[in-house]
Structure 1
Amino acid sequence: MRFHTRKWVKPEDLNPNGTLFGGQLLAWIDEEAALYTIIQLENSKIVTKYISEINFMSSAKQGDIVEIGMEVVKFGRSSITMKCEARNKMTRETILTVDNIIMVNLGKNGKPSPHGKTKVEFVKDRLS
C-alpha cells in the first residue's frame, strides 16, 4: 500500500477524550480517496458511492502524524474500488482499515460515466 498523505493531529481534530475524532479521520480519508480517484481517472467530477465497514484499531493524540494509504482493489466500468489504511507515524500502529471505498466517475450530465481505465497509472508515466 502506498501512503500518499500525512496529517498532523491538531487541537481542533480531537474528541472529548483528547484523541483524534473518528469523523475527522474519515473526512481526511474521503478527501484522499477523491484526490486519488481524480488523478487516476483524470476527471474532477467524481463522487463517493460507498464506504464499507470501518475497523478502528487504535487512535492518535495531539501532535501525532497520521499517514493515509490507498490501494486500488479493482476498476469497474464507471467506478474505482480502493482499500485504505490509516496509521500513526509516531506509534507505528494501524489506526483503522477500510476494505472497500467505491468512487464513481461522472460525465458532463452528472450521471455515472465509463472511464476506460483498467490499471493504476502514475503521473510520471503519462508525461513520457
Structure 2
Amino acid sequence: MRFHTRKWVKPEDLNPNGTLFGGRLLAWIDEEAALYTVVQLNNSKIVTKYMSEINFNSKAVEGDIVEIGMEVKKFGKSSITLKCEVRNMMTRETIITVEDIIMVNLDENGKPKPHGKTKVEFVKDRLKDK
C-alpha cells in the first residue's frame, strides 16, 4: 500500500474525549480516495458511491501525524474499488482500515461513464508518453 498523504492532528480535529474525531478522519479518507481516483482515471468528475463498514482499531491524539494509504482492489467498467489504511506515525498502529471504497467516473452530465482503465498508472509514466 502506498501512503500518499499525512495529516497533523490539531485541536480542531478532536472530539470531546481528546482523540481524533471519527467524522474528521472519514472526511480525510473520502478526500484522499477522490484525489487518488482523479489521478488514476484522469477525470475530475468522480463521486463516492460506497464505503464499507469501518472499525476503529486505535486512536490518534493532538500532535500525532496520521498517514492515509490507498490501493486499487479492482477496476470496474465505470468505477474503481479502493482499499484504505490509516496509521498513526507516532505509535505505528493502524487506526482504521476501509476494505472497500467504490468511486464512480462521471461524464459531463453526471452519469456513470466507462473509464477504460485496467491497471494502476503513475503520473510519471504518463509524462514519458508526451
Answer whether TM exceeds 0.5 for this pair.
yes
> 1:77-92 maps to which residues of 2 (within 5 A)?
77-92=77-92
**What is the TM-score when the length of structure 2 is the normalising length?**
0.98
Q: Deviations over 1:74-125 (max 9, x none)?
A: 0000000000000000000000000000000000111000000000000000
- Partners in 1 of 2:55 and 2:69 — Cα distance? 15
The match for 1:6 is 6
What amino acid is the match of 2:104?
Answer: V
What amino acid is the match of 2:7?
Answer: K
Kindly tell me the number of residue pairs found equivalent between the two proteins. Answer: 128
Secondary structure of 1:127's counterpart equals helix
Structure 2 unaligned runs (5+)? none
Secondary structure of 1:56's counterpart equals coil
- Partners in 1 of 2:55 and 2:108 — Cα distance? 35
- Partners in 2 of 1:112 and 1:72 — Cα distance? 19
Secondary structure of 1:125's counterpart equals helix
Corresponding position: 1:109 with 2:109: yes
The match for 2:75 is 75
What amino acid is the match of 1:55?
Answer: N
> 1:108-127 maps to which residues of 2 (within 5 A)?
108-127=108-127
Using the TM superposition, give the Cα deviation of residue 63 of structure 1 relative to its aligned residue in structure 2, in angstroms: 0.2
- Partners in 2 of 1:54 and 1:69 — Cα distance? 15
Using the TM superposition, give the Cα deviation of residue 55 of structure 1 relative to its aligned residue in structure 2, in angstroms: 1.6
The match for 1:59 is 59
Identity %: 84
- Partners in 1 of 2:42 and 2:28 — Cα distance? 21
- Partners in 2 of 1:7 and 1:109 — Cα distance? 34
- Partners in 2 of 1:16 and 1:122 — Cα distance? 40
Secondary structure of 2:55's counterpart equals strand
The match for 1:16 is 16
**What is the TM-score when the length of structure 1 is the normalising length?**
0.99
Q: Deviations over 1:1-40 (max 9, x none)?
A: 0000000000000000000000000000000000000000
